[in-house]
Structure 1
Amino acid sequence: MPRRRPLDSSGPTSTPPDLLTVAETAAVLRCGMTFVYESIHRYLATGDPGEVPGRKVGRSLRVPRVGLERYIGAAITWPIVDHPIIDSGPNVVDTDDVSAADPRPARHPRRTSPHRPATPRLFED
């Protein structure tokens, strides 16, 4: 099983940041980022306490830690580990996978028809 580096490697007793990103919020809630974005937009439009309490910070959306803890009714455990959203980010180091995937698609064999002779190849393989 691949080992993943946690988002915050300062230790399991560290406290979460005051403002969480949408990806971090989705990881805490164990849901998708689309749900978090939609819920924050509904919260901003209506102020409904049943939605994720987000704020606009410049052009970004952030979720206050205190508001998120109130939303879920419990304290947030930090750091966040073993979640597909957090684990797929660019800062994740997968220490077990050392092979690079070939970006070229697999080559399919040439199809030949019994009614027509195969076209001769220009170059040798």
Structure 2
Amino acid sequence: MSATETDAPAEVLTIDEAAAILRISRNAAYAAAREWRATGGKTGLPCIEIGRTLRVPRADFERLLGRPA
């Protein structure tokens, strides 16, 4: 791997990483992710399911924060 590949921000975040950025608890972040899935993406924390794990796509997360993707 080159230095630029390791220095680039991850394309996906774990629920714990997203919770830390949002300064909310891990349980609150998982509840928001469940809300996202239950509402078809209308409200909550954007997430995708990969196997049995949930990940937060960085582009969707940035939009949630009102930042340009």
TM-score bracket, normalised by the shorter chain, equals 0.7 to 0.9
1:24 aligns with 2:17: yes
Whether the aligned pair in 2 keeps the contact of 1:50 and 1:71 (CA below 8 Å) is no
Secondary structure of 2:54 counterpart:
strand
Higher helix share goes to which structure? Answer: 2
Q: Which moved more, 1:66-75 or 1:52-61?
A: 66-75
Runs of 4+ off more than 3 Å: none
1:119 match: none
2:32 match: 39
Mapped partners of 2:43, 2:8: distance in 1? 25
Mapped partners of 1:70, 1:15: distance in 2? 18
Secondary structure of 1:73 counterpart:
coil
**What letter corresponds to residue 63 of structure 2 in structure 1?**
R
Shift of 1:50: 3.0
Please list every run of 5 or more consecutive structure 2 residues that lacks an aligned counterpart in the other structure. Answer: none
Greater Rg by CA = 1
TM-score where L is the length of structure 2 = 0.79
Higher strand share goes to which structure? Answer: 2
**Where do residues 108-123 of structure 1 align in structure 2 (5 Å cutoff)?**
none
Mapped partners of 1:17, 1:31: distance in 2? 20
- Deviation string for 1:56-111 (max 9, x for gaps)? 11100100000000111126xxxxxxxxxxxxxxxxxxxxxxxxxxxxxxxxxxxx
Please list every run of 5 or more consecutive structure 1 residues that lacks an aligned counterpart in the other structure. Answer: 1-9, 76-125
Whether the aligned pair in 2 keeps the contact of 1:22 and 1:63 (CA below 8 Å) is yes
For these two proteins, the number of residue pairs brought into alignment is 63
Secondary structure of 1:47 counterpart:
coil
The percentage of counterpart residues that share the same residue type is 37
**Where do residues 1-125 of structure 1 align in structure 2 (5 Å cutoff)?**
14-74=7-67
